[in-house]
């Protein structure tokens, strides 16, 4: 515990460039439970903080000038009180900086079920198109289902409130509050495909819609980086679902990522962004650039 605090403080006091951030991550991956503080807004310019008034709810990803993709579960309670929801973009601090924007609407995936991670996606439309800058820029979506070959994915979110990991920050008291407001990055390993398939099978969840990531070490096994963009080589694969097993404190299990490329998800995203009514038979021409480079 003490060691972890020292590493956190160390991470805090060095102002990290992108490359030194990577070095530090490699060096401290395990001590930090894989989570490292982010120090510059332009490294993850697509990350969105979704707020209830000013209170952090979850993360999301800007996918064009007016739309943010996030987890449905975390904003579902607000479907009749959209005025409460604001989105902060272009800042690593969820209380400060960048642009704080009101929203126009939230579209929930029509198959969303709060007992399941399969369609745990929502699209938030900003009240106005946002002006893009170096620190505020959308990320492209992985559009086609693809086998997971990578060794790690980049997951960015703000620390969940009221978890035992929040207790940890209290220990590092001076910077504690500031730290809780600061974006964190984790490099999470995908769970072995057979193991992921087995877990999904057991739970009865659609294998096509979910990717499993191994849980971070040293992080509350029941907390999830809800809505966190899951990225590989600058492409958004999906967002972290809030779903966790009921006995997660005993049997943590993997973190589930709802895939943007999943059948019935990808076409829904594109229909919604174009203002078109979505049906399961909606198919979009691939009149877009193919992003399938994965090296």
Ligand X SMILES: *[C@@H]1O[C@H](CO)[C@@H](O)[C@H](O)[C@H]1NC(C)=O
Q: How far is the CB of 52 from ligand X (least distance, A)?
A: 4
Q: Cα dist. 84→25, 87, 135, 141, 201 in Å?
A: 36, 10, 25, 28, 38
Q: Under rule CB under 6 A, which residues in 149-188 are in contact with ligand X?
A: none
Q: Considering the complex, state which of residue 28 and residue 223 has its C-beta at the smaller distance from ligand X.
A: 223
53 near ligand X, rule: CB under 6 A: yes
Among 52, 133, 164, 175, binds ligand X (CB under 6 A): 52
d(CA 146, CA 237): 9
Choice between 164 and 208, CB closer to ligand X: 208
Under rule CB under 6 A, which residues in 205-224 are in contact with ligand X?
Answer: 206, 208
Among positions 23, 195, 233, 280, the unique one binding ligand X when judged by CB under 6 A: 280
- Measured between alpha carbons, how far is 90 from 273 in angstroms, rounded to an integer? 21
Q: Which of 149, 167, 263, 292 binds ligand X (CB under 6 A)?
A: 263
Select 136 or 222, whichever has its Cβ closest to ligand X.
222
Phi, psi (rounded to 5 degrees) for 132:
-85, 145
- 16: helix, coil or strand? coil
Q: Specify the stretch interacting with ligand X by CB under 6 A; choose among 51-59, 197-205, 253-261, 266-274.
A: 51-59
Q: Are 35 and 160 in contact (CB under 8 A)?
A: no
Which member of 41, 255, 258, 264 binds ligand X (CB under 6 A)?
A: 264
100 in contact with ligand X (CB under 6 A) = no
Interaction residues for ligand X, span 55-74 (CB under 6 A):
55
Asked if residues 20 and 14 have their Cβ atoms less than 8 Å apart, the reply is: yes
Distance of CA 177 to the CA centre of its chain: 21
- Answer for the pair 106, 72: CB distance below 8 angstroms, yes or no: no
**Interaction between residue 20 and ligand X (CB under 6 A):** no
- Looking at beta carbons only, is 234 or 263 nearer to ligand X? 263
- Least separation, in Å, of the C-beta of 186 and ligand X? 24
- DSSP-assigned beta bridge partners for residue 153: 188
Distance CA 88, CA 186 (A): 20
Q: What is the dihedral of CA 63, 66, 67, 73, to 10 degrees?
A: 140
The size of the interface with ligand X (CB under 6 A), counted in residues, is 10
| Nearer CB in complex with ligand X: 102/263 | 263
Closest C-alpha to 22, from 8, 42, 36, 41: 36
**With binding defined as CB under 6 A, does residue 191 bind ligand X?**
no
Q: What does the binding site for ligand X look like in residue numbers (CB under 6 A)?
A: 52-53, 55, 77, 84, 206, 208, 263-264, 280
């Amino acid at each position: 515990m003490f060691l972890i605090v020292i590493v956190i403080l160390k991470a805090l006091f060095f102002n990290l460039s992108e490359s030194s951030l990577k070095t530090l991550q490699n060096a401290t991956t395990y001590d930090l439970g894989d989570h490292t503080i982010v120090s510059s807004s332009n490294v993850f310019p697509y990350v969105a903080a979704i707020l209830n008034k000013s209170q952090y709810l979850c993360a999301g990803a800007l996918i064009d000038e007016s739309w943010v993709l996030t987890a449905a579960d975390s904003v579902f309670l607000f479907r009749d009180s959209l005025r409460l929801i604001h989105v902060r973009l272009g800042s690593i601090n969820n209380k400060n900086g960048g642009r704080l924007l009101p929203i126009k609407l939230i579209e929930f995936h029509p198959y969303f079920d709060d007992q399941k991670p399969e369609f745990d996606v929502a699209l938030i439309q900003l009240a106005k198109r946002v002006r893009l800058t170096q620190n505020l820029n959308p990320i492209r979506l992985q559009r086609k289902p693809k086998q997971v070959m990578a060794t790690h994915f980049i997951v960015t979110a703000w620390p969940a409130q009221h978890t035992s990991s929040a207790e940890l920050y209290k220990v590092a008291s001076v910077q504690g509050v500031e730290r809780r407001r600061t974006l964190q990055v984790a490099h999470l390993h995908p769970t072995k495909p057979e193991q992921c398939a087995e877990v999904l099978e057991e739970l009865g969840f659609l294998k096509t819609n979910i990717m499993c990531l191994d849980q971070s070490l040293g992080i509350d096994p029941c907390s999830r980086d809800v809505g966190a963009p899951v990225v590989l080589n600058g492409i958004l694969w999906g967002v972290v679902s809030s779903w966790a097993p009921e006995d997660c404190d005993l049997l943590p299990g993997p973190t589930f990522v709802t895939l943007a490329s999943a059948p019935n998800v990808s076409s829904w995203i594109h229909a919604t962004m174009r203002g078109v009514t979505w049906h399961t038979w909606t198919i979009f021409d691939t009149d877009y650039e193919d992003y399938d480079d994965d090296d």
